Amino acid sequence: MAYKLRTKKGRETYAKRKGMIEPIFGQIKQARGFRQFLLRGMEKMRGEWSLVCMTHNLLKLFQSGRMVMG
């Protein structure tokens, strides 16, 4: 990673993470209060993470007014 960050292409690629992925994790941790998994085992952890992501996405849709019920 240190080598990649020393190259121009590596810095450009890493800089894109700010706008793509990292804010989502920050929102889930801060706004949703999700700090640790409660279930044990990889399959259960994946299910728990899917549920957290689904509720995050549904709340964003609901708050934007784009979610149509019925």
What pLDDT was estimated at residue 44?
Answer: 95
Cα separation of 25 and 7, whole Å?
26
Cα separation of 55 and 61, whole Å?
10
Task: Please measure the distance between the N-terminal and C-terminal CA atoms of the chain and give it in whole angstroms.
Answer: 49
What pLDDT was estimated at residue 48?
Answer: 93
pLDDT tens readout for residues 32-51: 888 888 889 999 999 999 99
Q: With CA atoms as reference, report the closest residue to 48 among 35, 67, 61.
A: 35
pLDDT tens readout for residues 12-32: 877 777 666 677 787 888 778
DSSP-derived 3-state class of residue 46:
helix
CB contact at 8 A, 10 and 21: no
